[in-house]
Structure 1
Amino acid sequence: MIATPAGSPKASPRTLAPTVETVLGFVNTRADGSGRRELFGDGGSFAAWLAEREEFGGETVVSDADAAVARELRDALVTVLLAHSGDEESLGEPLLRAERHLRRVGSLYPLATVVTAGGVELASPQTGVPRVFGTVLAAVTTFAQSGDWGRIKACRNPPCHFGFFDRTRNGGGLYCSTGCGSQVSMRKHRQRQRDGGGTPSSEV
């Protein structure tokens, strides 16, 4: 199950909610060109990743086709998270495609309402790989209802696009780290220099 039961103590500001950890754990599995490797490349790598994640039920038999479905779901979510960051390239048609895909996924992996004396939760009633995708959707749905869905973002620095939770007071964070923010600022600075009359002689 995903949601924290009613009456449980609130997490500290430095602690991510389990639902956020589930979503970020799933989306932050892609290669980014700076050292992170693709974790859903095939059935074997996807199975190895699942074996280390208790919230998805641990070891699960998966195929290469399952890994492809996982990549499609992940990429659609990353597009939505980039939209939360205001990434212009992800808006418009890319976002519409991602949202259509997520609607299809939602119909394929429906959720069940679990009512207990301690509260109400969403959970996947399925087993195996369908349970994995349902668990991701349950985490997304549960957290989105908290009103902070827009704070789960993807870094606007390409090709990073690392998922992160925006802890800034005004919700204006755009990058997963100061390093990524600096890289974008430097690229913009160099572009302005080129547009303004060429690269300075001090640069190669």
Structure 2
Amino acid sequence: MEPLSFEIRHAGCLAEIADDLARLRITVFREWPYLYDGADPLYERQYLEVYLRSPQAAAIVARDGGGRIVGASTCLPLADEAGPMRAPFEARGQDLRRFFYFGESVLLPAWRGQGAGVRFFAMREEVARAAGADFAVFCAVRRPPDHPARPEGWAPLDAFWTRRGYAPLPGLTCVYPWQEVGTGHEVPHRLDFWGKALGTAALPERIVEDR
């Protein structure tokens, strides 16, 4: 198997790959723990609009040897994100301009285990620093350990994120709805934030005081 190639697609070029991003989301996020039922292209487009509107949004694109997009990872200023992601930071009086939000990372199964996740984080951090952000944050969906759809032997990515320098931000959560497999409608989901300082400035005390 040929190694993947990676590129950064900045704002203005994201519309060209929106259909590929939608395809990957539909395929990968149907898996645990997201259980996302997003087969409607219009529904997908609504989600991606926030990235298409943001002047500083970017996607890290992974291509196979034939140039096909097999993975992608998105990011944008937190100030440009949807209301549910901004809300917990606004409630704590934070300057959203200091934060970059890392959205989904999606990769087809055949290409996993080859270091793409590490590249996705490193290259998104590169984008965030170039935009002048002090901190990177992302969300992880919260699922009960006894959820009936939980695969046997599944382990969360906490250790991987910790090795990248990220830490959970206790008490910092948001609620975001999406269509869940088997429901036929949107379901509210609780997501927990993780964060990392991108430079010398420490994460604000207001969002780490309960750590």
TM-score normalised by L of structure 2: 0.26
Structure with the higher strand share, 1 or 2 = 2
Query: How does the TM-score come out when normalised to structure 1?
Result: 0.27
Say which structure is richer in helix: 1
